[in-house]
Chain A
Amino acid sequence: MRESLIIRIHYATALAAVALVAVHVLIRVTQGFAESLEYESVVANYRFLPYAGLLEIILILLSVHGFNGLRVILLELRQGRRYERAVTLACVAAAVAVIAYGSRTIILMNMGAV
């Protein structure tokens, strides 16, 4: 993938994440910070499909943005065909792993596993 496209994806995920994380934080603050973290409240959040969807989108956006940012930092430190390929593959693998692990929590909670 061209770097010009990757940086556009980096910016788009950043802007989208800012808007959605703001909603996520506002829900915590408006519910009352301590109350919103109570077990019943958190379970209700996960069971509410639009909110679970919001969490899933935030998870994907931040994973892509975060691990691409890490890739950029690592590529600034050192260059080389093999090194760059290894860093890119490791960052993609890490992003996929985090998305899979986070999605597992969201899907199981939304389906009422607990």
Chain B
Amino acid sequence: MAREEDNRGGIRDMASPRRYGIERVAYWMMRLSGLGLLAYFVGHIYETSSILRGRAGWDELLAMTQTTEGHALLAVVIGMCVFHTANGIRLMLVQGGIWSGRPGRADYPYTPRSQNARNKIAIYSSIVLAAVAMVYGLTVMFGE
């Protein structure tokens, strides 16, 4: 029992990007972006309910969100949303057996077939797409 306790790394081990390459980075970015998007979603449901207080309530909310900080926060949300979507589609494909590589004999140095170049490219592409979407979002928000 004590050994099980010792081996339980909790959030620290779950979030550690060291030693495990870009796949581990994608793993915790997926979870962080998911939690961030859930927090934004709940906040968005709450903030849009202010319209029930009429024009005054809505304008008060807009004054609070249509600021430089508000736009910056929304740009981060756009980035999280695009990464979460693109990486999520990659995960669905991998779990469906697509891009997970052909099964083969386990030979030294035991490189997992599923952690192949296609997956790495897809993860880096998700990050680049998220960055591009953030820039586009900032252009739209600050361009008006």
Contacts and interface: CB of A to CB of B under 8 A. Distances in A.
Interface of A: 11, 14, 18, 21, 29, 32-34, 37, 39, 42-43, 46, 59, 62-63, 66-67, 69-70, 73, 76-78, 98, 101-102, 104-105, 108-109, 113-114
A104 B49 contact: yes
Classify the secondary structure of B's interface with A: helix
Nearest to B31: A73
A69 B51 contact: no
B62 interface: yes
Interface in B3-17: 8, 10-11, 14
A98 B34 contact: no
Contacts of B81: 21
Given A37-B66, A77-B10, A67 B38 contact: yes
Contacts of B35: 70, 73
A76 B14 contact: yes
Which 5 residue pairs across A and B have the least CB separation, nearest first? A66-B38, A102-B45, A105-B49, A34-B144, A69-B34
- How big is the B interface, by class? 20 to 34
Contacts of B52: 105, 108-109, 113-114
22 contacts: A11-B92, A14-B85, A32-B144, A33-B141, A34-B144, A43-B51, A63-B41, A66-B34, A66-B37, A66-B41, A67-B38, A73-B31, A73-B35, A76-B14, A78-B8, A98-B41, A98-B42, A105-B48, A105-B51, A105-B52, A109-B51, A114-B51
Nearest to B38: A66
B40 to A, nearest CB: 10
A101 B47 CA distance: 11
Given A77-B11, A114-B52, A42 B58 contact: yes
A105 B35 CA distance: 24
Interface of B: 8, 10-11, 14, 31, 34-35, 37-38, 41-42, 45-46, 48-49, 51-52, 54-55, 58-59, 62, 66, 81, 85, 88, 92, 140-141, 144
B49 A14 contact: no
A59 B45 contact: yes
A39 B49 contact: no
Contact of A33 (B45, B92, B144): B144
